[in-house]
Amino acid sequence: MKLNLNIQPLSTWITSGKEPLVIAGPCSAETEDQLVATAHLLAKTGKITALRAGIWKPRTRPGEFEGIGSIGLEWLKRAKEETGLPTAVEVATAKHVEEALAAGVDILWVGARSTANPFTVQEIADALKGTDVPVMVKNPVNPDLSLWIGALERINNAGITKLAAIHRGFSSYGNTTFRNDPMWDLAISLKTQVPELPIINDPSHITGNRDLIGYIAQKAFDLDMQGVMIESHIDPSVAWTDAKQQVTPAALSDLIDNLTLRKAEVKSSAVNDKLAELRGKIDKIDDLIIQKVAERMTIAEQIGKYKKDNNITILQVNRWEEILKKTTDYGKALKLDAEFTEKLLELVHTESIRRQGIILNEGQDKVEEKLTHA
């Protein structure tokens, strides 16, 4: 499904022309010196397109540093005057929007906690009416694509067409490798529904760990995302917020140099011919996979009828475990990841069971149909 958002191409409102697009700056503006000195070092790399800094910080727990507040806008103004870097801040209320715009902030972003709340997003959207400031919308903290899209729609409905999404990962329970699980599928799904929407990756908040930022940033560019937002602090070891994930401007510069930028499309006809040949093969295999799955479903239905006639339950755990073991072993021998094979089989098996359920409970099929299409 394609969504109808009215979006201006990124190149019309971010005109630095620098590749890759990097928005960088401290998690929080702490002092005037910290912000301005960081901005100078970032500008000196020649690789930064815009300066970010949080001045109103949405902290999950009370009692932590909640941002320096409006005074930070003056510091941002000075940083911009001295370095020429456009500035970006997070806004979470109508008052933030008004103050940021009055102070000449160039880009606003909606934070992950705000995106999760349609009341907040609507308040921000209403405050944006009549302006044409660029706005970036972070994904919500929870993995809910509709909330992300809903926030983008609300901002777009307010007349903001210089719009981008920021992919900063999703919170999950328990110990995980990343601070916020990237769940790339959700960002890819957003891209599929709104292909013209630029997506900026935020590897700092995904990883929560400066050592992994380059890895995630590379992955984002390999998935054709349009840029990155990376937290950078003049001295991360003393940062008041997100110390573990901030990098010095010098480290950021190295990180950018180590990225490999690939193109979504190339002009060379030899490359395109080879790609077309390989894609042709893939398409044929996809057709075969679907044919075979359809055949398997027909057989599953025959089994369903047979079970019905002989009064046998649909699910026989032993049989399922046997299939799972046999097939994942076979997959392993063919160099398929066991977890992948298991997921694939489970999907097919669940559909077989659903179909057999309909056969066993004839008359109930209308209920099932309604449920699956609800």
Interface residues toward ligand PEP, by CB under 6 A: 27, 54, 58, 90, 111-112, 138, 168, 205
Is 205 or 210 the residue whose CB approaches ligand PEP more closely? Answer: 205
Query: With binding defined as CB under 5 A, does residue 30 bind Mn ion?
Result: no
CB 269 → Mn ion: shortest distance, Å? 45
Is 55 or 314 the residue whose CB approaches ligand PEP more closely? Answer: 55
CB 63 → ligand PEP: shortest distance, Å? 16
User: 180, 202 in Cβ contact below 8 A?
Assistant: no
Rounded Cα distance, 167 and 186, in Å: 9
User: 151, 119 in Cβ contact below 8 A?
Assistant: no
User: 124, 113 in Cβ contact below 8 A?
Assistant: no
Among 149, 210, 242, 300, binds Mn ion (CB under 5 A): 242
CB 54 → ligand PEP: shortest distance, Å? 4
Is 29 or 220 the residue whose CB approaches Mn ion more closely? Answer: 29
**Closest residue to ligand PEP in the complex (CB):** 111
Q: What is the dihedral of CA 300, 306, 308, 312, to 10 degrees?
A: -90
SS3 content of the chain, % helix, strand, coil (to 5): 55, 10, 35
Collapsing DSSP to helix, strand or coil, 8 comes out as coil
CB 236 → Mn ion: shortest distance, Å? 11
DSSP string for residues in 105-153: -SEEEE-HHHHT-HHHHHHHHHHHTT----EEEEPPSSS-HHHHHHHHH
What token pair was written down for 157? 């409905």
Torsions phi, psi for 224 (to 5 deg): 65, 30
Is 52 or 355 the residue whose CB approaches ligand PEP more closely? Answer: 52
Could you say which of Mn ion, ligand PEP, none residue 138 binds, taking C-beta under 5 to 8 angstroms by partner kind? ligand PEP
Question: Residue with structure tokens 């042709």?
Answer: 280
Query: 188, 164, 189, 167: which is closest to 178 by C-alpha?
Result: 167
Binding pattern to Mn ion, positions 136-155, x when CB under 5 A?
--------------------
Is 30 or 242 the residue whose CB approaches Mn ion more closely? Answer: 242
CB 3 → ligand PEP: shortest distance, Å? 22
Q: Which stretch binds Mn ion (CB under 5 A): 23-31, 115-123, 278-286, 351-359?
A: 23-31
CB 60 → ligand PEP: shortest distance, Å? 9
Is 47 or 179 the residue whose CB approaches Mn ion more closely? Answer: 179
Residues that bind Mn ion (CB under 5 A): 27, 242
